[in-house]
Amino acid sequence: MVIDMCVHPGFLKEICGDEERVLFRRKHFGLYKQSVWPVELFIKQLDAAGIDKAVLIPEDLTVRCGDSIVSNEEIKTLCELMPDRAVGFASVDPNRADASEVLEDAFTRLGLAGLVLNPSTQRFYPGDEKLAPLYECCIRHDKPLILQMGVSLQPDAPAKYAKPLLCEDVLLSYPQLRVCVSHFGWPWVTDVAALLLKYENLYADTAMLYYDSPKEFMHYVFEEQMGRHWADRTLHSKILFGSGYPRIEQKRMRQAVESLELRDSTKQKILGDNARQFLYGEAE
Amino acid sequence: MVKIKHIQVMTDDHFQFVRISEQVKEAVAESGIKNGMLFVVTAHTTTGITVNEGLSCLESDMQTTLENLVPDDYPYVHAHWLPSYGRTSANATGHLRAMLTGNHCVFPIEDGKILFGAAQEIYFAEFDGPQNRRITIEVMGE
């Protein structure tokens, strides 16, 4: 099974009934010319890329921007439209007074599969004490946490909040919480590799394309920024496939991962087996 | 008289030839124009319109030829961050293959019929799918 850990669904037609909302998404997600298309086409794109399931990422920017890019309710709507293909995550702005209640509702009433937070756009440091109730809620419900780390391609998103070593406080305080550093924390990928070595509960996804073609960039990260054998020898159970769709097409990101000179068993883990472990705590 | 019709195609794959002659014939019939010219034009820069014999073997050969002329892996300059889009472009192959097919085809119309040769099929060529695509069919005449 191939699982894409990083899909931003804000331009799917079924949740784009309001044109103002589409404009808000283009502005705050920073994808300025993105078209709107239906779930039917999204499923064709998944099929063409050979992807079985997509983790749908919402983003609650209520405090700073007055709205969410994609809400938890909209994620629920999309999951109902494609129950076999979508895994819906929840987002909550940690600066909201009712953040804990929103997350509890997302896990209990909406049945969402995990929490995703974006320190740069939501403006918080991962180790801040105010996050404790959210992390504890994830543990209480056995739900994983995605932290969007590294340089954000969204506007008005300072990188100072998203340096991967800031995750260490969370990893130390909550060893039972499964955490994924999204975008491999680029450009600080060796910091992420160092943390992956130490913390059993930490994962990182491949949703990163900042320079060059997907294949060229993936080779640069995994063969030049990091040692070319690190993934095969040590990190094979810690890396999750993610595309970052629609900022880049899933077909291209999958081909890029497939093109790495890794063992087939490592690729299989990266493309899906590790995601199942992260999402559901399933043993290898 | 000029009549214009737009048709939509939702493609299924990254590289795909879609036969559209029947849809074009319908548009010509609906136009009511008996004698004139037909233009079929794609609205996208990573798709093409081309005419060839409607055989699956030739479709395979056309795909292989375009992939050989425009290889998937090459240091295309287009592969870079585009600030105005907010994304990295990665579809140079689609643009270049589209350049080779061109964006349109033209046929004469006589007595309300398209003057196809015996083997001619109109193809919409997808070079960066799956996508929703728009094609314009324009009929000019009397």
* Residues of chain A positioned with their CB less than 8 A from the CB of B90: 209, 213-214, 248-249, 252
Q: Note the pLDDT tens digit of each residue in A50-99.
A: 999 999 999 999 999 999 999 999 999 999 999 999 999 999 999 999 99
> Mutation test of the interface with chain B: which of A249, A250, A253, A254, choosing the one with the most B Cβ atoms within 10 A?
A249
Beta carbons of A147 and A164 less than 8 angstroms apart: no
Mean pLDDT of B121-138: 98
CB-CB under 8 Å, A48 with B90 = no
Provide the CB-side half-sphere exposure for A70 (13 A, CA): 24
CB-CB under 8 Å, B90 with A252 = yes
Q: Domain total for chain A?
A: 1
Q: Note the pLDDT tens digit of each residue in A166-195.
A: 999 999 999 999 999 999 999 999 999 999
CB-CB under 8 Å, B81 with A41 = no
Tell me how close the Cα of A210 comes to any Cα of chain B, in angstroms: 7
* Residues of chain A positioned with their CB less than 8 A from the CB of B84: 32-33
Q: Domain total for chain B?
A: 1
The model's pTM: 0.96
**H helix runs in B51-132, sequence order:** 56-69, 92-101
Segments forming the whole domain that contains residue B122: 2-141
What pLDDT band is residue A284 in, cutting at 50, 70 and 90?
Answer: very low
Sequence letter at residue B94:
G
Cα separation, A215 vs A263, in Å, equals 17
φ and ψ at residue B34, rounded to 5 degrees: -95, -40
DSSP state for residue A113 in the 8-state scheme: -
* CA distances in angstroms from A120 to A95, A164, A182, A221, listed in the order given: 13, 12, 12, 22
CATH number for the domain harbouring residue B108 = 2.60.120.460
CB of B76 less than 8 A from some CB of A: yes
Segments forming the whole domain that contains residue A203: 3-280
| Nearest CA among A176, A165, A235 for reference residue A206 | A235
From the list B76, B79, B86, the residue facing A30 with the nearest CB is B86
Cα separation, B89 vs B97, in Å, equals 16
User: What tokens does A157 get?
Assistant: 């998103």
pLDDT at A21 over 90: yes
Quick check: helix, strand or coil at residue B142? coil
CATH number for the domain harbouring residue A133 = 3.20.20.140
pLDDT at B86 over 70: yes
